[in-house]
Amino acid sequence: MRTLIKNGHIIDPARHMSYKADILVENGIISGIIQVKAFDVPVSDIAVDEVIDAEGLVVAPGLIDTHVHFRDPGFTYKEDINTGAAAAAAGGFTTVLCMANTNPIVDNKETLQYVIEKGRTTPINVYSAAAVSKGFKGEELTDFTELKNGGALVFTDDGIPLKSEMLVKEAMQKAKELDMPLSFHEENPAYIEQQGINKGVVSDKLNIGGAPACSEYMMVARDCMLALETKATICIQHISSAVSVELVRTAKKLGADVHAESTPQHFSLTEDIVLEKGTLARVNPPIRTEADRLAVIEGLKDGTIDIIATDHAPHSKDEKAKEFKAAPSGMIGLETSLALGITNLVKKGYLTLEELLTKMTVNPAKLYKMDKGCIEAGKIADLVIFNPDEEWEVTENFVSKASNSPFIGQKLYGKIKYTICNGNVVYKDLK
Cα distances (angstroms) measured from residue 293 to each of 38, 266, 370, 421: 42, 6, 30, 33
Residue 223 DSSP label? H
Three-state DSSP class for residue 245: helix
DSSP state of 328: P
Contact between residue 246 and residue 260 where contact means Cβ atoms under 8 Å apart: no
Cis peptide bond N-terminal to 161, omega within 30: no
User: Which one from 12, 157, 292, 311 is the annotated catalytic residue?
Assistant: 311
For 166, phi and psi rounded to 5 degrees?
A: -70, -35
Pairing between strand 58-61 and 383-393?
antiparallel
**Residues in the chain, overall count:** 431
Amino acid letter for position 193: E
Angle, vertex CA 385, rays to CA 384 and CA 389, nearest 5: 125
429 is catalytic: no
3-state secondary structure of 16: coil
User: Cα dihedral sign for 395, 398, 404, 407?
Assistant: negative
* Inter-residue contact 234 to 181 (CB < 8 Å): yes
What three-state secondary structure class fits 307?
strand
Q: How far is CA 100 from the centre of its chain?
A: 15
CA distances from 428 to 2, 32, 67, 89, 310 (A): 17, 23, 24, 9, 21
DSSP 342: I
CA distances from residue 320 to 127, 193, 216, 283 in whole angstroms, order as listed = 28, 20, 24, 11
Catalytic residue numbers, as ranges? 311
